[in-house]
Structure 1
Amino acid sequence: MTADDLANFFAMLPGWEEKFRYIIDLGKKLPPYPEEYKKDEFRIFGCQSLVWLKSDYKDGRIHFVADADAAIVRGLIAILMVIYNDKTPEDILGFDIHAWLESVGLSAQLTPTRSNGLHAMIKRLYTFAENAQEKH
């Protein structure tokens, strides 16, 4: 699945109740997050929920796992996984997530605290991609 696939699927859903149900379902399909990474070193602060994100750079691509204690936030993580997981630092930094979120209407639907948390996760991924790019 790609960001375009996700946007097209969102466009087919009739309303935000269905879209949020789909986001929650995406979150249920996240790969398990290892318990040993549920510590402050990997925690995303700025989120109302507890959120952890662990990134690794291998073979020119960034791989990450993440988890949250709230269903909607887990779904937002799943969206980020579709867009960013297993991508090069250049792909990550070159994708305009804010325009994408705006295009699917998600920006306007998130509460301020969820929006802040989502942007904190994106910022962490961008920082990791920038650091990986500098090292190689």
Structure 2
Amino acid sequence: MSLPTAAREALEQFEQARGWEQRARLLMQWGDRLEPLSDADKCEHNRVHGCESLVWLVAEQQDGQWRFKASSDARLLRGLLALLLVRVQGLASSELAELDLPGWFSQLGLERQLSPSRSNGLHAVLLRMAEITSSH
């Protein structure tokens, strides 16, 4: 499966990062790039359950492709969400269901930052994406 352009860009940046401090800074920068959600989007209907932090996910379909927006109250998680989003934008429902999430974060050198609760939370986001896309 080929990577979307933004995902390749992320991978190149993280491969060049030396050590955790540089990766952490990059992670925060990616989180700051997330398109802000409106207060109306931060509603219970868009909340992803299974995350320790508050996470909201909004999806819309454009020309047969899914586009996602997400946000969190936790800064580190916003960075992880941004990296998840660049990996999944434009994927079909079937591709979403097959995405190797731990593999993607390993490629980025971030597997050690995925505590079980963060990993579960990101997995919950991915499951929610698959639910949304398969119900339409």
Residue type at the aligned position of 2:56? W
Counterpart selection for 1:126 from 114, 127, 130: 130
Give the residue type in structure 1 aligned to 2:122. Answer: L
Q: What is the one-letter code of the residue matched to 2:109?
A: G
After superposition, give the CA deviation of every residue in 1:27-61 in whole Å (9 maximum; x if it has no partner).
11111101111111110111111110011223110
Task: Look up the match of 1:102.
Answer: 106
- 1:66 Cα deviation from its structure 2 partner: 1.0
Among 33, 36, 39, the residue aligned to 2:37? 33
TM norm structure 1: 0.84
Tell me, in whole angstroms, the C-alpha distance in 2 between the residues paired with 1:10 and 1:67: 21
Where in structure 1 are there 5+ consecutive unaligned residues? none
Which residue of structure 2 aligns with residue 77 of structure 1?
81
RMSD between superposed Cα atoms in Å? 1.8
Which residue of the partner structure matches residue 44 of structure 1?
Answer: 48
Q: Distance in 2 between matches of 1:94 and 1:4?
A: 19
Q: Is the 8 A contact 2:51 2:118 kept in 1?
A: yes
Is the counterpart of residue 20 in structure 1 residue 24 in structure 2? yes
Compute the TM-score of the two structures, normalised by the length of structure 2: 0.84
Contact 1:43/1:52, CA 8 A, preserved across alignment: yes
C-alpha distance in structure 1 between counterparts of 2:120 and 2:94, whole Å: 24
Q: Which one of the candidate residues 113, 119, 125 is aligned to 1:115? A: 119
Task: State the 1:111 CA deviation.
Answer: 2.0
> In 2, Cα distance between the equivalents of 1:85 and 1:128?
14
Residue 94 of structure 1 and its aligned partner are, at CA, apart by: 4.6
Q: Distance in 2 between matches of 1:119 and 1:107?
A: 13
Identity %: 34
The residue type equivalent to 1:2 in the other structure is: A
Larger fraction in helix: 1
Q: Deviations over 1:51-82 (max 9, x none)?
A: 10011223110011111111111111111221
- In structure 2, do the counterparts of structure 1 residues 2 and 90 end up closer, same or farther at CA, with 3 Å as the change threshold? farther
1:3 partnered with 2:10 = no
Partner of residue 71 from structure 2, selected from 51, 67, 73: 67
